Structure 1
Amino acid sequence: MPSSHAQTPRTAGRRLWTAAPLGVSSALLAFLALGLILWGANVLYQEREQRQRHQIERELQAISQLQARSVADWRDRRMSDAMALSDDSLLAHAVAAWLASPGSAPSADIVARLRILQERARYTAVYLVDTQGMLRLTPADSVQGRLPDPELLALHSALAQAQPVMLEPRQSNFFAFPFSGLMVPIFDGIEPLGAIWLVSDVRTSLYPLLELWPTPSRSAESAIVQRDGNEVRFVSPLRHYNNAPQSLRLPISHSEDPAVQAVTGVRGIIYGRDYRGEEVLAMVSAVPDSPWFMVSKIDVAEAFTDMRVREWLALSLPISLGLLIAGSFAVFWQRRAWQRERALKTDLQRNMRWLESAQKAAEVGYFSYDATQHSFFMSGMACTIFGLSLGSAMSRRQWIGLIHPDDRKKTLEEHARAMTERTGLRTQYRIRRASDRHVRWVQVWAEYESDAGQKPVARMTGTVQDVTERRQGEEKLATYRAALEAQVRQDPLTHIANRLALDEAVAMEWNRALRSGAPLSLLMIDVDHFKAYNDHYGHVAGDLCLQRVAQALSQSIGRVGDLVARYGGEEFAVLLPDTDGTQATAIGQRLCDAVRAMNIEHLAAQGRPQVTVSIGSASALPAFTAVPGMPHTSHPASARDAARHLFEQADAALYRAKQSGRDQVASFEPNGLQAPAPAPG
């Protein structure tokens, strides 16, 4: 008699019948799983690509804004020089007297003023022209000739408006280099005398501002563009265009070019095709108070190709894993039950190894915190990140001991708040790794677990990632940006503050004194007979002399808040907040003594064997200046105008100190007299 466990044909047929739809269902599930994996991988890729794209766009925006600010500062400095020159009544009187005496030699004051503009303000050429546009005088000698037509039109406009007129950079046979000009009108009262023509070589003054790029790039470049009728003119040279600067022009109809979009009103981050026909990512912004637009761009191929390769490599592992899982499922349902069980165990072990490998590659580990046991269950990678032995648990006390002391209080508060409010946790903090006590940055993302009834339990599960290298990269980028900002405000020769830093400090201190009612003083300092020193000892020795004088001035100013700056050439300035006229004069005398005490040999000086300085002092009470009806109401009220007035007073006092014999301090008095302090024995 057959055993009751024997398999009959009907039983085998029934199992075969039920196995067929089971195999079809398994195949459909496998294909569905594969489709979900591919869809999820695509979504993840799109999200990561979008995040990386935004990061690249932010970096390009920061670079373009920094360059646009540098170009705007370049224009502002030249307009400031022009306004100061236009308000120079002493120069106007001297020019009027010379023009009234035809055939006479120009006064030394006129020649010296033109030379100061060329040497200190670093203009390539300086010309005095009459109202007819004839060239009359340069710092070197008299000159004959006539202004080019564009400059002649600018002269007429400047005299008509009684304001300086800036000419845009251009190329002309008048000079062998591309240049930019400023036409500064000069009046004797209301009578026009002519103008000062200030010429700058834009190759050395403007174009280098566009070459600053923090990272190496094959295609990145920045350009200044300007609308000229129905065309866009490139003011600056281009990296990938070998012809002369300003020779490239694009019609407005090229609407895909970022330069064309800039002049038609588009601002911010845009995508388009440049003059080469290449697809580019560009940042477009306007240069304040000018007809210029800044266009910074980089080829899309260079910006995003490497990013896409990295993202696809990062996604290749989960995609491969999904394909293997789908194949395993197809084979799994074709084998006998005991083979399927063994294959399931094998696949599970293999998947765990793959998961551990993926965590190691991404330096991401996972953990689970049990609030009732006050302990952490750690994955292998999480143990490696914290420097623990593999497979070990970590107590709450041990975890607190590994947190960096400076971050401990903040981290514990964030964890306590997340535990109390039962919310997700997103934080970064430093740890001292248990294995070697090295300081590492970690990023923790965690969520509360919920049961089927959506009731929160006292357990938090999440991931931990070592982000030390990323934080270091961010800190290096921040350090570079700070250093770049500092370089913009530092004089490269003397390593003290430059004119830009001084102007910003004067405006800030004026507003502060306006609120507090405190006085504000300024010292203008000039090295006596410095041209003779340069001619006698050479420019290298002259540079060393300026460095030593700057060092002596800095060491003699001991208060926090006082600022020593190089004003230009051999001229320095010292800003003294909360200092009245008497104190400023005493400080100026101390600076004279400090420079004289260095005993720098100066055999070319007249009457003194060593280098000395002359100092002009001016003081103001901003609070009284800004309130009508109070003393000093004749002063300008705005910080910029008031600062210019204070500079003029100090400069006038400096002129008085030089006229009185040099090596002394002269202070500006409200009655218009400058009282020089007597030089020591």
Structure 2
Amino acid sequence: MKAPDTMPPHHARSRAWLLLLLVALLLGGMAWGLSHVYQEREQRYRHQIEGSLQAVNQLQLRAVTDWRARRMAEAAALTQDSLFARAVAQWRGAPSSPQQAALRERLTILMEQVRYTAAYLVDAQGRLLLDAQGAVTGQLPEPEQQALQLALAQARPVVVELRRDPAFAFAFYGLIAPLFDGTRALGAVWLLVDARATLYPLLETWPNHSPTAESVLVQRSGDEVVSLSPLPLRGSESGALRLPLVQGGRDPMAMAATGVRGAFYAHDYRGQEVLAVASAVADSPWLLLSKVDVGDAFTDAQRREWLGLSLFVSLGLLSLGLVVLLWQWRAWRRERALKRELERNLRWLDNAQKAATVGYFTYETRSEAFVMSRMASAIFGLPDEGRMSLRQWMTMLHPDESVQTLRIHGQAMMERTPLRTQYRILRHGDRQERWVEVWGEYSQASENEPLLMTGTVQDITERKHTEQQLARYRVALEAQVRLDPLTQVANRLALHEAVTQEWSRAQREGQPLALVMIDVDHFKAYNDSYGHVAGDQCLQQVATAMSALLGRAGDLLARYGGEEFAVLLPGADAPAAMAVALRLQDAVRQLALPHRGSACCDSVTLSMGVTSLQAAHYPGADAAQALFQQADAALYTAKQTGRNRVVLFGADCMQALHS
């Protein structure tokens, strides 16, 4: 009888080891796969948290930037208020109770309606004159004193950055708004803002109420970085936090002060690892730093991920199929939780955008479509669908700026650089022209992921209109500076600028340049005989008569000083200049203005000196002085030879030129 087949012991051991090896490979493969999935999802969640923190930082940055811009615009409007400046000038010239009451009422309006903490009227030397309660005494502090001198010199408001002073129990932000009566400096209005009332609240709103989240304004001061706003996580400690840049190491404040921007990881003043975002506040030395503890930001996500992994491993030992099914169920729940959290954040962002009139959007290059918040849709005049195609956006670009706008966007996309631009659109629906400002940054999670741009858009039409109005005010002010207030012709400054410009042009083109120097004969005797009011009227009539004869483009009549005038004649040779001078003399003679104090005639007459030079024969930067010297010499000769005549510079004038 044959014995039954049995497996040799070494074969059984081999199969057991093979089975163990297969189980180990299966578990190892599952562990590797789960670890890969965990890392990928953790990285994606990390990008979401970083993006949310960047969005919060950008919204707060926009709020702080707009706060500073509003304050500067209010100060500029006060400087441009000619009625207020005239009231100040009248009160300073002849103080009275009604005038003081009107000025105090204006200062009260600044405090109650524009929300300034204090407003003082100061003179040009920095002495305090008046506030909303009445007359005050004292002197501006040194920083405000320096700002006052700069504001008067530049004829525009100057900011005194956020600081503390023993005279005030709070940190304040100051502005010096200079006041002018024409071109005469009257003083300024010193405006103070309590940062606790209007600035610090802009940094307190967060979407998720994280106990470790905080935003702070910081500023570099020499080799230190200083906090400008309160740090809630410092507890009972008060005062500004100062950190040396050398010893600051990986502190986010020190890193921001040394140039780090965007999202980064660091250890803050408490020694905690934090996720931080740093941005520079435009047109200021301020930096805005928003941060949250890494443990607080990622604890929930890590807990969910590790719990999911433990469940997957436990169930995988029982059934691979059940593990896969459970993993999918957990993934679906996690996606749904993230979606709900994202929806809550989007609702908060939408409300914040409405409050700040800023819209939020993302652009995906693969689908060529914008996903926008309701406020962004409203800015472009679109329904609340939240989407806009690239072609639809291009049709709304203003025709005059579409090429440049597309070039700027394309360059930022190609170079992966932050985008900040302003352009006009023709709003969808009503085709109304609006100005928008776009801030955005490009990012890409991986090479396989599409390129995304995340940013904000704001309607700045009203701000643009204000800037254009201020530009017109500046042009008008510059024109007034170059105009003689009595005769309404150009003054000496405008004449010298025109001579410099026309002399350079004459040298380039090989053309002559002529100058006529004019003096009203015996004008001092005219004032003595008829009075200074009649003398001013006489100068006005003489200037009007001469201006009427100068119709050629480029010809310029200027009051040189007192009773002296000058006429600049580009391209005129000596005969042409003499002809113009004789016509001017005849025009004034025909006015027949009585002059009983004149020794040469019974009416007002003119003495004139005429010269014409070929600029190419006089190289050098100071060669234009020869034009004035020769015209003065010819005028001197005309006055010495009897007045009431026109003299062309020649050999008989050389003695006057060298005397």
TM (norm. structure 1) is 0.52
- 1:37 aligned partner: 30
Q: Is 2:6 the partner of 1:138?
A: no
Q: Which amino acid aligns with 1:187?
A: F
Q: Is 2:83 the partner of 1:90?
A: yes
- 2:263 aligned partner: 269
Q: How far apart are the structure 2 equivalents of 1:154 and 1:244?
A: 32
- SS of the residue corresponding to residue 313 of structure 2 reads helix
1:404-439 superposed Cα distances (whole Å, 9 cap, x missing partner): xxxxxxxxxxxxxxxxxxxxxxxxxxxxxxxxxxxx
**Cα–Cα, structure 1 residues 161 and 281, in superposed 2: closer, same or farther, change >3 Å?**
same
Q: Is 2:465 the partner of 1:639?
A: yes
In the TM superposition, 1:505-516 aligns within 5 A as none
Which of 335, 340, 352 is the aligned partner of 1:484? 352
**Cα–Cα, structure 1 residues 515 and 250, in superposed 2: closer, same or farther, change >3 Å?**
same
Structure 1 alignment gaps of length 5 or more:
326-349, 365-465, 491-500, 506-511, 517-559, 562-575, 579-635, 649-681
Q: How far apart are the structure 2 equivalents of 1:66 and 1:637?
A: 18
**Cα–Cα, structure 1 residues 243 and 470, in superposed 2: closer, same or farther, change >3 Å?**
closer
Which of 282, 303, 324 is the aligned partner of 1:288? 282
1:316-344 superposed Cα distances (whole Å, 9 cap, x missing partner): 1222244x26xxxxxxxxxxxxxxxxxxx
1:29 CA drift (Å): 2.5
1:73-106 superposed Cα distances (whole Å, 9 cap, x missing partner): 1100000001111111111111112112257763
- Percent sequence identity over matched residues? 45
Q: How far apart are the structure 2 equivalents of 1:189 and 1:84?
A: 16
1:32 CA drift (Å): 2.6
1:43 CA drift (Å): 1.9
1:276-303 superposed Cα distances (whole Å, 9 cap, x missing partner): 1211110111111111000000111111
Which of 216, 222, 226 is the aligned partner of 2:219? 226
- SS of the residue corresponding to residue 209 of structure 2 reads coil
**Cα–Cα, structure 1 residues 360 and 482, in superposed 2: closer, same or farther, change >3 Å?**
closer
Q: How far apart are the structure 1 equivalents of 2:244 and 2:103?
A: 46
Contact 2:277–2:290 (CA under 8 A) maintained in structure 1:
yes
In the TM superposition, 1:345-384 aligns within 5 A as 351-353=320-322, 355-363=324-332
Q: How far apart are the structure 2 equivalents of 1:577 and 1:481?
A: 27
- 2:167 aligned partner: 174
**Cα–Cα, structure 1 residues 122 and 31, in superposed 2: closer, same or farther, change >3 Å?**
same
1:57 CA drift (Å): 0.7
Q: Is 2:31 the partner of 1:47?
A: no
1:125-155 superposed Cα distances (whole Å, 9 cap, x missing partner): 1100011211101122111122122211221
Q: Which amino acid aligns with 2:131?
A: T
Q: How far apart are the structure 2 equivalents of 1:245 and 1:258?
A: 20
Q: How far apart are the structure 2 equivalents of 1:356 and 1:270?
A: 37
- 2:254 aligned partner: 260
Q: Is 2:310 the partner of 1:316?
A: yes
- SS of the residue corresponding to residue 160 of structure 2 reads strand
1:134-187 superposed Cα distances (whole Å, 9 cap, x missing partner): 110112211112212221122122112222111122222212222111111111
Q: How far apart are the structure 2 equivalents of 1:319 and 1:177?
A: 59
Q: How far apart are the structure 2 equivalents of 1:363 and 1:276?
A: 38
**Cα–Cα, structure 1 residues 97 and 247, in superposed 2: closer, same or farther, change >3 Å?**
same
- SS of the residue corresponding to residue 292 of structure 2 reads strand
Contact 1:94–1:107 (CA under 8 A) maintained in structure 2:
no
1:478 CA drift (Å): 2.1
- 2:143 aligned partner: 150
Which of 38, 53, 69 is the aligned partner of 2:62? 69
- After superposing the two structures, state which structure 1 stretch, 55-64 or 481-490, moved more: 481-490
Q: Which amino acid aligns with 2:256?
A: A
- 2:240 aligned partner: 247
Contact 1:148–1:174 (CA under 8 A) maintained in structure 2:
no
Which of 472, 475, 478 is the aligned partner of 2:343? 475
**Cα–Cα, structure 1 residues 60 and 138, in superposed 2: closer, same or farther, change >3 Å?**
same
Which of 187, 192, 196 is the aligned partner of 1:199? 192
Q: Which amino acid aligns with 1:479?
A: R
- SS of the residue corresponding to residue 265 of structure 1 reads coil
**Cα–Cα, structure 1 residues 357 and 34, in superposed 2: closer, same or farther, change >3 Å?**
closer
Contact 1:237–1:244 (CA under 8 A) maintained in structure 2:
no
In the TM superposition, 1:272-671 aligns within 5 A as 272-322=266-316, 324=317, 351-353=320-322, 355-363=324-332, 471-489=339-357, 639-643=465-469
Q: Which amino acid aligns with 1:263?
A: A
Q: Which amino acid aligns with 1:302?
A: D
- SS of the residue corresponding to residue 233 of structure 2 reads coil
Contact 1:91–1:109 (CA under 8 A) maintained in structure 2:
no
Contact 2:312–2:326 (CA under 8 A) maintained in structure 1:
no
- SS of the residue corresponding to residue 167 of structure 2 reads coil
Contact 1:236–1:245 (CA under 8 A) maintained in structure 2:
no
Q: How far apart are the structure 2 equivalents of 1:41 and 1:264?
A: 40
**Cα–Cα, structure 1 residues 207 and 244, in superposed 2: closer, same or farther, change >3 Å?**
farther
Q: How far apart are the structure 1 equivalents of 2:151 and 2:297?
A: 46
Q: How far apart are the structure 2 equivalents of 1:360 and 1:638?
A: 53
Q: How far apart are the structure 2 equivalents of 1:77 and 1:140?
A: 25
Which of 1, 6, 18 is the aligned partner of 2:11? 18
- 2:117 aligned partner: 124
Q: Which amino acid aligns with 1:131?
A: A
1:244 CA drift (Å): 6.7
1:641 CA drift (Å): 2.8
1:382-416 superposed Cα distances (whole Å, 9 cap, x missing partner): xxxxxxxxxxxxxxxxxxxxxxxxxxxxxxxxxxx
1:107 CA drift (Å): 4.5
1:357 CA drift (Å): 4.7
- SS of the residue corresponding to residue 80 of structure 1 reads helix
Structure 1 ranges of 4+ moved more than 6 A: 645-648
Q: How far apart are the structure 2 equivalents of 1:489 and 1:71?
A: 13
Contact 1:268–1:283 (CA under 8 A) maintained in structure 2:
yes
**Cα–Cα, structure 1 residues 236 and 118, in superposed 2: closer, same or farther, change >3 Å?**
same
Q: How far apart are the structure 2 equivalents of 1:637 and 1:116?
A: 22
Contact 2:119–2:190 (CA under 8 A) maintained in structure 1:
yes
Q: How far apart are the structure 2 equivalents of 1:205 and 1:363?
A: 44
Q: How far apart are the structure 1 equivalents of 2:472 and 2:148?
A: 29
1:643 CA drift (Å): 5.0
- SS of the residue corresponding to residue 280 of structure 1 reads strand
- SS of the residue corresponding to residue 260 of structure 1 reads helix
Contact 1:270–1:283 (CA under 8 A) maintained in structure 2:
yes
**Cα–Cα, structure 1 residues 292 and 309, in superposed 2: closer, same or farther, change >3 Å?**
same
1:201 CA drift (Å): 0.8
Contact 2:308–2:330 (CA under 8 A) maintained in structure 1:
no
Q: Is 2:12 the partner of 1:28?
A: no
**Cα–Cα, structure 1 residues 243 and 127, in superposed 2: closer, same or farther, change >3 Å?**
farther
Q: How far apart are the structure 1 equivalents of 2:299 and 2:236?
A: 30
